[in-house]
Amino acid sequence: MSDHPICPCGSQATYKECCGQYHSGAPAPTPEALMRSRFSAFVQNKTDYLMATWHPSTRPEHLDLRDSPDWVGLSVLGSDTNG
Ligand SMILES: [Zn+2]
């Protein structure tokens, strides 16, 4: 009975204040926000959102989340990977 579920992307913010707004149509302001929102969409089986935000050149014609071994976690966050 949680009115404010934590966002599945791991941001510690509520889903509604985090990725939920992007799933509702708001543009993600940063690449990280987009990445998080797509991860949340994957967790929640929002294939429409995944397809809509997928670059056409790499997007599969049909998306079957049960056949996506790459999506085991959110590992790309930010760009401070130097070192
Ligand atoms: Zn989120």
Per-residue pLDDT of the chain (83 residues; tens, 9 = 90+): 457 899 999 999 999 999 999 999 999 999 999 999 999 999 999 999 998 888 778 777 777 766 655 555 555 555 554 44
C-alpha 32 – ligand 1 centre gap (Å): 10
**CA–CA distance, 20 with 33 (Å, rounded to integer):** 11
C-alpha 22 – ligand 1 centre gap (Å): 9
Query: Which residues are in the CB-under-5-Å shell of ion ligand 1?
Result: 7, 9, 11, 18-19, 36, 40
C-alpha 40 – ligand 1 centre gap (Å): 6
Q: Which of 3, 7, 15, 21 is nearest to 74 (CA)?
A: 7
Q: Looking at the DSSP assignment, which residues form a beta bridge with residue 14?
A: 6
pTM: 0.67
